[in-house]
Amino acid sequence: MTEPTATVGILGGGQLGRMLALAGVPLGIRCVVIEPTPGAPAGAVAEVLTASYDDQRALEQLARRCDVVTIEVEHVPIDSLAWLAARVPVHPSPEVVAVAQDRLAEKRRFVALGIETAPFAAPEELDAGYEAGTIVKRRTGGFDGRGQARLGPHASRSALAAAATSFGGRCVAEGVVSFDRELSVVAARGLDGTAACYPLVENRHRDGILRETVAPAPDASASMLAEGAAMVCRLADDLDLVGVLALELFQVGERLMANELAPRVHNSGHWTIEGAATSQFEQHLRAVTGLPLGEVGPIWPSAMVNVIGVEPEPARALSVPGAHLHRYGKAARPDRKIGHVTVTGRDERERDERLAAVRAIIG
Contact call for residue 174 and ligand AMP (CB under 6 A): yes
Q: Mark 145-180 as b/e (b = at least 16 C-beta within 10 Å).
A: bebbbebeeebeeebbbebbeebeeebbbbbbbebe
C-beta closer to ligand AMP: residue 327 or 336: 336
201-230 positions binding ligand AMP, by CB under 6 A: 205, 208
Contact status: 259 vs ligand AMP (CB under 6 A): yes
Minimum separation from the CB atom of position 172 to ligand AMP (A): 10
Of 103, 125, 134, 363, whose CA–CA distance to 258 is shortest?
103
Residue 73 engages ligand AMP in binding (rule: CB under 6 A) = no
Stretch that binds ligand AMP, among 23-31, 94-102, 169-177, 341-349 (CB under 6 A): 169-177
Read off φ and ψ for residue 170, nearest 5 degrees.
Answer: -85, 100
Instruction: Identify which range of 87-95, 171-179, 285-293, 323-331 contacts ligand AMP by CB under 6 A.
Output: 171-179
CB of 12 to ligand AMP, least distance (A): 18
State CA 10 to chain mean position distance. Answer: 15
Rounded to the nearest whole angstrom, what is the least distance from the CB of residue 133 to ligand AMP in the complex?
8
Q: Report the candidate in 35, 19, 15, 28 with the shortest Cα–Cα distance to residue 281.
A: 19
From edge to edge, which strands make up the β-sheet containing 171-175? 120-121, 171-175, 134-138, 148-151
249 counts as binding ligand AMP under rule CB under 6 A: no
Interaction between residue 177 and ligand AMP (CB under 6 A): yes
153 is a site residue for ligand AMP (CB under 6 A): no
CB of 258 to ligand AMP, least distance (A): 10
Give the whole-angstrom CA distance, residue 269 versus residue 288. Answer: 17
- Asked if 176 interacts with ligand AMP (CB under 6 A), we say yes
Question: How large is the C-alpha radius of gyration of the chain?
Answer: 20
Binding residues for ligand AMP, per CB under 6 A?
A: 118, 135, 142, 145, 174, 176-177, 182, 205, 208, 248, 259-260
